[in-house]
Amino acid sequence: MKLRNKICTVLFTMSIAIAGAQEKKAASPAETAQGKFNGAAVTINYGSPSVKGREIWGGLVPYGKIWRAGANDATTIETDKDLTVEGKKLPAGKYSIFIIPEKDNATVIFNKVAKQWGAYDYKENEDALRVKVKPVAAKEKTEKLVYKINKDNITLSWDNWNIPINVK
* Number of independent structural domains in the chain: 1
Q: How many Cβ atoms from other residues are within 10 Å of residue 58's Cβ?
A: 12
- Whether 111 contacts 122, CB under 8 Å: yes
Does residue 5 sit within a domain?
no
Task: Check residue 25 and give its pLDDT.
Answer: 74
On whether residue 53 sits in a domain, the answer given is yes
Q: Which domain holds residue 83?
A: 27-166
- Show Cβ contacts of residue 48 under 8 Å, excluding neighbours closer than 6 positions: 28, 29, 30, 31, 70, 71, 144, 145, 146
Asked if residue 17 belongs to a domain, the reply is no
C-alpha span between 79 and 29 (Å, rounded) = 22
Does the residue 67 lie in any domain?
A: yes
Residue 2 falls inside a structural domain:
no
- The Cα 96–Cα 115 span in angstroms is 7
**Domain-embedded: residue 1:** no
Per-residue pLDDT of the chain (168 residues; tens, 9 = 90+): 565 555 545 445 455 545 454 456 788 999 999 999 999 999 999 999 999 999 999 999 999 999 999 999 999 999 999 999 999 999 999 999 999 999 999 999 999 999 998 888 899 999 999 999 999 999 999 999 999 999 999 999 999 999 999 999
Residue 116 included in any domain: yes
CB-based contacts of 97: which residues, under 8 Å, 6+ apart?
Answer: 44, 68, 69, 70, 74, 75, 76, 77, 108, 109, 110, 111
Whole-number Cα distances in Å, 149 to 68, 105, 163: 18, 20, 12
Residue 149 CB-half CA count within 13 A: 19
**Global pTM?**
0.84
What is the maximal distance between C-alpha atoms in the chain? 74
Please indicate, yes or no, if residue 7 is contained in any of the structural domains.
Answer: no
